[in-house]
Chain A
Amino acid sequence: MALDRITLSRFRNHADTALDDTRRFNLLVGENGAGKTNVLEAISLLAPGRGLRRAALADLPSQSGGGGFTVGASLAQAEGEPVRLGTFVRADLPGRRKVRVNGAEASAASLGEWLAIGWLTPAMDRLFADSAGARRRFVDRMTLALEPGHARHAARYEGALRERNRLLGDEREPDPAWLDGIEVQLAEHGAELAQARLRTIARLSDALAAVPDEPFARPLLAIEPGGPADEAALATALREGRRADRRAGRTLTGPHRDELLVTMAGKSMPAAECSTGEQKAMLIAITLAHAELAAQGRPGLLLLDEVAAHLDPVRRAALFERLREGAAQVWLTGTEMTPFAEIAEEAAVWRVREGAVERV
């Protein structure tokens, strides 16, 4: 079960692009700026959310297209006719992304019932060197795909945290009963947030444990907690921390200070100190493991933008081997064919140039 008959109309630099007869491996080759990632982005919009660039809707239509765009694809079914999925923005309603399933209007959320799309982009390469906040967002995005309720707890927690910090930063001594009221909610949603992150990391760790250390770098994941994950314990920690927090001008305890720790198995080296290629390999391993968890019986799709570039031939071969073993349809991009020699035979290959594709 995979996507086929993919069409992009007036999307970014693609005026009118069609990709037919897709296979398990699909490869887009072309120079920088040719429009390879734009194809992946278009496909990523067949999932709820803002796609793999997290772009604003206004940035998606092609500059000459008058403000609207259309993306469509057919999803093969085990039995019967394929399902036609489409998403579009009308030029006269530029702020609204619409979704159609088999011609009938549907919600963006309903796309998630048909397929699960995971992706890895070069923008994520800095993850291990980036701030702790960026890694928390990474964990939260993965958690959200496994537990939809996560977003609500995160939003409530953030809101309560801002309230508490403002109250503690006040010149006047904060009203203890008011702090109690805020901390009840910080503890409730903070515990949910922290526990959901721990569950995600535990499930990913289980999945990654089955992967050998070599040749593909295997990451070990852990959360260094920013506070107790138990609701009552977090409430106590917050209450006891009031004086110190007031001096610091912010809340020093809680899941907003969680840190994702990643080390490379075998070498026991923190990910941030590993080579670029090893970091990439670990990111890929996490992405693949998460994609399998998130698919939950749905057909899976993996969009891997420029993944081969940083990998040596042995790791590349291991990656292709793992992708072959998995269930997901895979979309890859690259500037040249050479790194993909091993899958060239079995892959559907398109050459991308100035917003147009040509089957090789």
Chain B
Amino acid sequence: MASQEIEKLAGALAQLPGLGPRSARRAVLWLVKHRGKALPQLLEALGAVQDRLVECEICGNVDTRNPCGICADPRRDAKSICVVEDVSDLWALDRARLFTGRYHVLGGKLSALEGVRPEDLAIDTLLGRVAPKDGEGGVDEVVLAMNATLEGQTTAHYIAERLEEFPVRITQLAHGLPVGGELDYLDEGTLAQALRARRPVG
């Protein structure tokens, strides 16, 4: 039987996504074993995040600065905005380092069943960013990078419609063949989507 403190730590870790009680106990044991070095490192990292973590008031990204590193980067194209559901999607896209514009995090997706309404998402701030200011065009292109789920696609359609009043190009991530994918192994839904989104060559 572990002490109350150790149980408490295990309980807190068990809440983390992908962990659960068994993995949490394993992580605690590892920390106990490496308490000389790993524990202080973890403490320091956690403390720094707790002290300095902020949500970017422009795009909703989490960072230790506000505006975040991406919004503050002058090399990034401010006229191109990629809209994502969550911070995890932003990180996934930015890991690829392909998109040179900036981001906008909605903080979820529309879901009538779960009671997530347009006003619960950062949609008005997105419209504010896109709207032309003082005669100057705000944004040239909005890339909708929602997940290919029912709610994700509903949200994409919704935002596209709300953006219609602005002179902005609206694009959406393509759905279909994965890179290196073999047709023989793809499910029918993906194949159908790829066929639907086929395009001329050359």
B134 lies within 8 A of chain A by Cβ: no
B153 lies within 8 A of chain A by Cβ: yes
Between A148, A159, A178, A185, the greatest number of chain B beta carbons within 10 A of the residue's beta carbon is seen for: A178
B80 lies within 8 A of chain A by Cβ: no
Complex interface bits, B145-164 against A, C-beta within 8 A gives 1, otherwise 0: 00000110111111001100
Give, as a whole number of angstroms, the nearest-CB distance from B47 to chain A.
42
Partner of A163, one of B111, B162, B187, B189: B111
* Distance, CA A45 to CA B153, complexed state (A): 36
Q: Which residues of chain B have C-beta atoms less than 8 A from A163's C-beta? A: 111-113, 150-151, 154
Partner of B154, one of A147, A149, A170, A178: A178
* CB contact list, A129-160 vs B, under 8 A: 147-149, 152, 156, 159-160
Count, chain B residues at interface, CB 8 A:
20
Give, as a whole number of angstroms, the nearest-CB distance from B177 to chain A.
16
Q: Which residues of chain A have C-beta atoms less than 8 A from B154's C-beta? A: 160, 163, 178, 181-182, 184-185
State whether B112 touches A156 (Cβ < 8 A).
no
B11 lies within 8 A of chain A by Cβ: no
State whether B110 touches A178 (Cβ < 8 A).
yes
Q: Which residues of chain B have C-beta atoms less than 8 A from A167's C-beta? A: 112
B176 lies within 8 A of chain A by Cβ: no
* Distance, CA A162 to CA B155, complexed state (A): 16
Q: Which residues of chain B have C-beta atoms less than 8 A from A166's C-beta? A: 112-113
Q: Which residues of chain A have C-beta atoms less than 8 A from B187's C-beta? A: 148-149, 152
* CB contact list, A144-200 vs B, under 8 A: 147-149, 152, 156, 159-160, 162-164, 166-167, 170, 175, 177-178, 180-182, 184-185
Interface size, A (range): 20 to 34
State whether A170 touches B112 (Cβ < 8 A).
yes
* CB contact list, B127-150 vs A, under 8 A: 150
* Distance, CA A249 to CA B111, complexed state (A): 18
B188 lies within 8 A of chain A by Cβ: yes
Give, as a whole number of angstroms, the nearest-CB distance from B175 to chain A.
12
Give, as a whole number of angstroms, the nearest-CB distance from A141 to chain B.
16
Between B111, B118, B154, B155, the greatest number of chain A beta carbons within 10 A of the residue's beta carbon is seen for: B154
State whether B162 touches A177 (Cβ < 8 A).
yes
Contact status of A180 and B157, CB under 8 A, knowing A149-B189, A152-B189, A163-B150? yes
Nearest B residue to A181 via CB reads: B157
B192 lies within 8 A of chain A by Cβ: yes
State whether A156 touches B192 (Cβ < 8 A).
no
Extra inter-chain contacts (19) besides given A167-B112, A185-B157, CB under 8 Å: A147-B188, A149-B187, A149-B189, A160-B150, A163-B151, A163-B154, A164-B112, A166-B112, A175-B158, A177-B161, A178-B154, A178-B158, A180-B157, A181-B153, A181-B154, A181-B155, A181-B161, A182-B112, A184-B157
Return 5 A-B CB contacts under 8 Å, by A number.
A163-B113, A180-B158, A181-B156, A181-B157, A182-B154
Partner-A contacts on B (CB < 8 A): 110-113, 117-118, 150-151, 153-158, 161-162, 187-189, 192
